[in-house]
Structure 1
Amino acid sequence: MASWVGVSPGNNESAGKKNSSKTTKGNKALKTMAVECVLGTSGQNNRINAHRKRITKRQGKKKGTIASAHLILTIAFNILKTGEPYQELGANYMKKEQKNKELKMIEYLKRKGYNISPSDQKTA
């Protein structure tokens, strides 16, 4: 669906070098609608706005907006596919996921026989 609308991420890589690429041509009306929805979430405390801000820090305003439009279309597709209502995960969803990854890694290392103590972990 994202490819049809024209907001799918490009993959322009050759000989180990990743080159910048433009978005694909797609349905202009749906692409405009998805971007307007992203811009409509600015100022709110939700997952889509947090996603846009996170991408914008690294890649710029326009790429952040298009990436969030892709997120909205992915969410819409999953709603249509499963028929379940949308559950807002919140702005700190990715922070929770990162924390869960760290905890899983610590548990994995303990199962492998490594001894992890609080003094071994970095303090911020």
Structure 2
Amino acid sequence: MQTIPGTSVISAAYLIGEIGDDMSCFDGMKGISSWAGLCPGNNESAGKRKSGRMRKGNKMVKTLLCEVANAAVKTKSQFKGKYQGLVIRRGHKRSIIAIAHKLLRIIYTVLSRRKAYFDPDINYEELMVRRNSPRWLQMMVKYNMV
């Protein structure tokens, strides 16, 4: 879970402690979103929109995911672009809730598939080369390969 942008060691541990690592107890992404209280509300009848309040859910998970969402929108990831698109129309708080909902769906997928998260907007190969190139150059100089 620490591969998800904005997620620290402590927040990942708290989320695992609250949610658990067995995703079979939830009825899919909609079930975990409903349990956490992050599913979007929609109360519309005859074309008239009424209150779109969110339901009550696990307060600890909701709070943690909002903190992770605030950290994730400050990284260079898909969450930053999503947030910038939403904040203009919806405002900061509703945008953070939307990002927290997206993060919860990603956490569900990561935990159910048991694979690390890969952001589509990040070029991991370029990051690895940029991070390791000084060390590679030092080794080439050390062994007279240049």
- Pairwise TM-score range, normalised by the shorter structure: 0.5 to 0.7
| Match in the other structure for 2:106 | 75
1:63 and 2:84 equivalent?
no
| Match in the other structure for 1:84 | 115
Q: CA RMSD in A?
A: 1.5
Q: Distance in 2 between matches of 1:43 and 1:81?
A: 27
Structure number with larger C-alpha Rg:
2
1:8 and 2:36 equivalent?
no
Write out aligned runs for 1:45-124 (5 A): 45-90=76-121
Alignment TM-score, normalising by the size of structure 2: 0.58
Shift in Å, 1:49: 2.0
Q: Distance in 1 between matches of 2:48 and 2:84?
A: 26
1:18 and 2:49 equivalent?
yes
Shift in Å, 1:42: 3.2
Q: Distance in 2 between matches of 1:40 and 1:83?
A: 23
Identity of counterpart residues, as a percentage?
34
Alignment TM-score, normalising by the size of structure 1: 0.68
Structure 1 runs (4+) deviating above 3 angstroms are none
Equivalenced residues, count: 91
Shift in Å, 1:20: 3.8
Structure 1: stretches of 5+ with no match in the other structure: 92-124
Shift in Å, 1:51: 1.4
| Match in the other structure for 1:38 | 69
Q: Does the 8 A contact of 1:38 with 1:49 survive in 2? A: no
The residue type paired with residue 77 of structure 1 is: Y
Choose which of 48, 52, 60 in structure 2 pairs with 1:29. 60
SS for the counterpart of 2:49 is strand
- Between 1 and 2, higher relative CO (CA 8 Å, sep ≥ 6) is seen in 2
The residue type paired with residue 63 of structure 1 is: R
Worse overlay, 26-35 or 44-53: 44-53
